[in-house]
Amino acid sequence: MPQNSVAGIIGASSIKFGTSGARGLVSDFSSDVSAAFAIAFVEALKTQNINVERIALGIDRRPSSPDLAASIAGGLQAIGCHVDYYGILPTPALALQSLSEKIPAIMVTGSHIPFDRNGIKFYRPTGEITKLDESLIVSQQALLPAFNPFLPSESDVAQTTYIQRYVAPFPKNALQGLRVGVYEHSSAGRAISKSILNALGADVVSLGKTDVFVPIDTEAVSEEDQLQAKIWAKEHNLDAIFSTDGDGDRPLISDEHGNWLKGDVVGMLCAKYIAADALSVPVSCNSAIETYTQIPVTRTKIGSPYVIEAMANQVSSFKVVAGFEANGGFLCASPFTLNGVPFKELPTRDAVLPLITLLNCTQEKGVTLSQLVDKLPPRFTASDRIQNLPSDLSESLIEVWSFNLETFLETFHLQQSVLNVCTRDGLRVSLDNGQIVHLRPSGNAPELRCYCESYTQSDANLLLSSMLQKLLTCFNSSN
């Protein structure tokens, strides 16, 4: 393999595809590596007879993102591709523009992963790339041309299109009377979120805006953010608080008390509101989904490519096919009608649709968000992660436990009998007392994820705390 081939450059780097895009340390995203990924993407599309004359490009607010985007734009220009640059915007806004224009897109974002890392997401003219596309990208033999990094002039068309998507189906006063806090931090979609809420009549309160990048993880909300939400809710008399991860595709929504709602709870409520008749969700999502929605649900490995693949298999059999993840990102694989207005599909994670549907649902039913959630089946989840943990170490231990469940039960002092074991993605064990524990190495960073489920939130929290403490003991003794 020639060293200056794009496949050679990618292979020699430490940048790898994870559950959503190519991710790695900023220090490994050299100008050549960034350009090589973009050129390899174009070459991979060409092998599938997709002509690439234009590509949409966007970024998040990470300090490293403009430089990565400049290298990508320079590399694309060198092979004759025109770049439509949309600057800082949510990933779903860029994806929507890509679908509308029927052109590919590249988003520079590390989403929620730590500050010293970044990533690149790729979109075909029809939506997110698949795992097959990832394999094609890393195997392209085209040579890297000489190029000069640059950022084209910026357009706001994609942002305008995205705002209109959520404003059009509802009257201007749809959210009148609601006070909604927007926890801005460094989210790529903070300005857009406020614009949409204002356009629908909500009283918007700006919270926590910062110029320093904050890696918000909607599946592992920090104790500080949990406490701060409660303070904000009381101080500002809020009906809800809205935030997202770094690139605006995973929602973080609190009720009127400042309690952050779980992403799969948000997904259930959103799916019900849009009258979905088939769902695809990762295996880590709340087991109450089937009970609450009463529609066919396909369980997948964790990661949007797997959810998208499963939804694609459902589209021919069902009218309104959707999906979501435990992180809250909601995906629509088919068009549907929202409040009597035709609503186009957007088969990539999105944070705004769940927000708008939940708030409108409370308005229509005359209830608060907490009252809406209280009507769900009594299944509660808790999740967290152990960071800076080598993936090979966590993978080896999970492999051992998967083949020896007695050792697993003894290690974590679990006295119950095992009802079911799922190794589709990590190790997920259902116990006869109704509790579930799920261990899985992250596909995006050196982290181990732990998911727990029980009949009460306090029991789920206690189980999670116990699992994490014993996991740390295991890993410390393994070093």
Active-site amino acid positions: 111
Q: Name the residue type at position 92.
A: P
Separation CA 100–CA 95 (nearest Å): 9
**Which phi and psi angles does 54 have, rounded to 5°?**
-135, 150
Separation CA 288–CA 377 (nearest Å): 6
- Torsion, Cα 321 441 112 290, to 10 degrees, reads 30
Q: How many other CB atoms are there within 10 angstroms of residue 171's CB atom?
A: 11
Q: List the structure tokens of 142.
A: 């085209």
What is the three-class DSSP state of 374?
A: helix
Separation CA 418–CA 398 (nearest Å): 16
Query: C-alpha angle with apex 109: 105 to 111, nearest 5 degrees?
Result: 125
Q: Which of 90, 87, 93 is nearest to 184 (CA)?
A: 90
Residues in the chain: 479
Using the structure block, give the residue that is written with the tokens 């940048």.
15
- Torsion, Cα 437 439 442 447, to 10 degrees, reads 100
